[in-house]
Structures are given as C-alpha cells and as structure tokens.
Amino acid sequence: MNIALLTAGGTGNRMGQDIPKQFMTIDNIPVIIYTLKAFQEHPEVDAIGVVCLKGWEVVLQAYANQFNITKLKWIFEGGDSNQHSILNGLQGLKSMDCSDDDIVLVHDGVRPLVSGQIISENIATCREYGYAVTGLVCKEAIMEVRGSCLRNISIPRERLIRTQTPHTYRLGTLLKAHAEAEERGIGNTVASCTLLGALGIDDQHLVAGSERNGLKLTRTEDVELFKALKDTEREEWLK
C-alpha cells in the first residue's frame, strides 16, 4: 500500500494570522485541502493520514467531508516538534495495522503544489532503492551567515540540494530510524531525510522537485505566490 502522511501539526506563528496556516482559506478552499487533493487524485496513493494540530481534528475531518477527500483514513495528533509529529503519525499507522513494507510519503501539509509526477517518481524510487527525497539542485550562490556577516561555503552549489517533500520510505524503515534516533539522543530534526542522514544513511536517492513544489506556505508573501501559481499552465511552446 502507498500511504501519504501529511504533517499539519504546526501553529504557523511566522504567518502571523489568527488561525493555523494549514486551515486558512485561499479562494474559498482551505490550504490543507489543496494539498490533500493532490494525493486524493493520484491513482497510486491508496490512503492518506494527517498529523493534525491538537484541537483541529474535527475541523480537518469536516473539510475532508466537504471536499470529498475519501482517501483520508486517519488523523493523528501532532507533537511538540516536527520529528515528534512524524513519529506520532508513523506509530499511528502501525497501530492501524499498516505493514512495515507499506510505502509512506511524508509531505508538508502546507506545500500544496506537489505534482502527480513528483508523487509517482517518489513511489517508484522508494520501491527500487528504499529511499526517496524530493529536492532541487541549488542555482543560487550559497553562503553561511555568522552573526551579521556572510562567509563563503566551499561546497560547489551544484552539489547542494534544496530539499522539498515528499520524503518517501518504507514504514518499517522510518519506525526503525526513529527508534534508533531516540536511543542515540537525536531529537528535533527538521525532516525525515535529515533524521536518516544524522543516523549515517548516505544513499538516499534524489527525486527531482520543482520550483512550484518548493513553495511552502510560511509567510504572507507565500500566499500571494500561491495564488499566482495555482491556476497557471505550462506554455505550449516550451520544450
């Protein structure tokens, strides 16, 4: 089974609004629904789970019912960090009798422009190699900030990856990784790929992301960008 596990457990403080960013409505549709629709409409995704901010579970289910998100099978309570929230979701899937061999696509609930191609390639790459991480090669000049000063980074930018989501693994792989991280005192990693990286896994395979999928709704200007991008279509003359 292929399962999408969406993280929607944050409060969205950087957005500075009265409600969590994943539940804000843009053109009369909640942000989380845009993201859910991408997985709902993908033929290879069998089920969806959401790690939800505590107290908003009923709202999430109501929105899912309203917008006919029939693949949403489970809602799990978020934790006090991204790592904790993902673990809650994974343990929840296991308690629902999901198999260790099931493929889990961990995806940000506020990254609504994920394409069907990215989802397909994550599933295929995970099936073949066991790990799949969505990302793009950096095209910017990257520097390190220390205090108020910038310092050069010696790594060539073509070797630096801006990771996006999904991050895709077998359920058993992720559960084992979280258990090992707890044993080793590794906490508060920002993503599944960095958790596995901290454990020494160095053969996670890259799936090409996109600038559209790179849009994660974090600040108010991201809303403007999302509105500009969501209804655009690729120019026919582009190769």
Q: Residue 123 belongs to a domain with what CATH number?
A: 3.90.550.10
Residue 235 lies in a domain: no
Residue 237 lies in a domain: no
Question: The whole model's pTM is what?
Answer: 0.95
Asked if the structure places residue 238 within a domain, the reply is no
Which segments of the chain does DSSP mark as H helices, in order?
31-40, 57-66, 82-95, 116-129, 171-184, 192-198, 220-229
Domain count, the chain: 1
Compute CA 71 distance to the chain's CA centroid, rounded to the nearest angstrom.
Answer: 17
210 within some domain: yes
Closest CA to 42 of 136, 131, 132, 107: 107
In a domain, 110, yes or no: yes
State the Cα–Cα distance between residues 114 and 122, nearest whole angstrom: 11
Q: What is the pLDDT of residues 177-227, one digit of tens each?
A: 999 999 999 998 999 999 999 999 999 999 999 999 999 999 999 999 999
- Name the band, by pLDDT with cuts 50, 70 and 90, for residue 41: very high
Residue 228's contacts (CB-CB under 8 Å, 6 or more residues apart) are none
Is residue 236 one of the residues assigned to a domain? no
pLDDT above 90 (res 116): yes
Residue 83 dihedral angles phi and psi, to the nearest 5°: -60, -45
- Tokens representing 19 are 């409600």
Q: State the angle between helix axes of 31-40 and 116-129 in degrees (0 to 180), rounded to the nearest 10.
A: 60
Whether 239 is covered by a domain: the verdict is: no
Range of the domain at 167: 2-229
97 located within any domain: yes
CA distances from 79 to 59, 115, 126 (A): 18, 27, 26
